[in-house]
Structure formats: C-alpha cells, structure tokens
Amino acid sequence: MSVKTLTIDNTPVAIAEGATILEAAQEAGVSIPTLCHLDGVSDVGACRLCLVEVENINKLLPACVTQVTEEMVVHTNSPKLQEYRRMAVELIFAEGNHVCAICVANGNCELQDAAIQVGMSHTRFPYRFPDRHVDVSHSQFGIDHNRCILCTRCVRVCDEIEGAHVWDVAQRGENCYIASGLSQPWGEVDACTSCGKCVDACPTGAIFRKGTTSAEKERDRGKLEFVVNAREKREWTR
C-alpha cells in the first residue's frame, strides 16, 4: 500500500493511502471537532463539524469522509472555519427542540460539549420548534425525536456492530427522522435485540434508558469499543 504525505496545520504527516483527513489529523496530533463520528463504525459526514479547508479547493470538506491526497495542504482551525463550526452547532440547536435543563443527558451530552467547544453562548438563528414525537413503546428504552440531531450513529451501530438494522432515516430535509423497523413503534420491531448499543452511541439524550431522568444518562462507550476490538483485533478482554 502506498503512503501519502500531506500537511495539516503546518505539521507534516505521512499516512497510508485511503486514510481520511480526520485519521491523518489524529496521526499528526491535530484535534478536529466531530459529532457524528464514532470510533468503530463508518463515517457519513452528517454533522459538518469537522469541515476543513484544503488549499486550491474552493469549498470546505468534511475531514471524516475526505481521503488524503499527495501534497495536500489542510487547515483545520482558521477564523472562517471557527465561524462555520459555530454556525453548524447553532443550526443544530435551532433545528430541534433542545431543552438542556430537562434532558437526561444534561452535563453528559456531546452536543452541549460541542456548543462549549465552539464558543456558542446563544444561537443567532430563530428556533423552529418543530412538532416531533417521543416513542416509549420499547420495554427498556425510549427515543425522544425532539433531542435527535440526525447524526445517524444509532443507525450505524445497530447495522454495523449489532447487525440488527433496526434504525434508518425516513423522509427528507426538515422532515427527516430516525425510524425504527418499517417506521413502526420501536417496541413492535422484532429485529431489535434490546442490546442498548444505540443508547450508548447517541451523543444527546434522544435515545435513553427508561427510568433515567434529568442529567442521569450514562453511556457505556467501552462496550462498543470492546466489540469492535474483539472483531477487528481479536482482543477478547475488556
């Protein structure tokens, strides 16, 4: 396999062909904010937080799904990018119904963390207040679509790690939502193994364990990492 050499924020880095800019940045010790990226599953470029500038390319590229090329010169933290990242997070907040004070994930939420990271003290976009629903038909879990940011981590962990493919994205544009089964109530989907990987993967409080109330959500990310390592690296202990 050939190796590509490139520059990220003035740091030279060499990485195998086919790697993404995000992987190369990790190699170079450069931190790029992410939200929809989850170690162990494929990347989809849904959240736009990892947008970077590449010299001689006239648009911003998502680092998680853009492969490195030879002599590429990447900038990850220009004032322009900082502004776009903050806008991306503000738009996520304005799009759904994110009420931190009453959320299970308050204090343990990757969207909240992203807002702090990009310096968002308020959103400059008018809130949409969409009419969304809560599905608590499953015996152990619930999904509150108000808090969903459509990162599709649940879709990917369920399909790629658990192999059940309970989740998918229904509709388009502003009407998009995460559907269970054939757009049935979650509790009626036979394919669901009740493994809880979607709960662990969800960055916000959208998917939660029943019985958890404000600021009580906990995630076992180690479980996802363990399953992936067991499969890919044949490491069987945690």
The contact set with other proteins (CB under 8 A) reads 93, 97-103, 106-107, 112, 115-116, 119-123, 126-127, 129-132, 146, 215
Residue 76 CB, nearest distance to other proteins (Å)? 19
Nearer residue to other proteins within complex by CB, 102 or 170: 102
Residue 116 CB, nearest distance to other proteins (Å)? 5
Nearer residue to other proteins within complex by CB, 76 or 112: 112
Residue 113 CB, nearest distance to other proteins (Å)? 8
Closest CA to 208 of 144, 152, 159: 144
Nearer residue to other proteins within complex by CB, 126 or 211: 126
Do 177 and 170 meet the contact criterion of CB atoms below 8 Å apart?
A: yes
CB-based contacts of 71, cutoff 8 Å, min separation 6: 5, 6
Sign of the dihedral through C-alpha 165, 171, 175, 181: negative
Nearer residue to other proteins within complex by CB, 107 or 185: 107
- What's the CA gap between 64 and 85, in Å, rounded? 15
Residue 119 CB, nearest distance to other proteins (Å)? 5
Residue 120 CB, nearest distance to other proteins (Å)? 7
Q: Which residue has the tokens 């204090």?
A: 107
Nearer residue to other proteins within complex by CB, 41 or 149: 149
**What string of DSSP letters covers 138-152?**
SSSEEEEGGG-----
The encoded tokens of residue 137 equal 């038909």
CA 167 to each of CA 90, 149, 235: distance values in angstroms, whole numbers, following the listed order: 26, 14, 28
The encoded tokens of residue 229 equal 């390592």
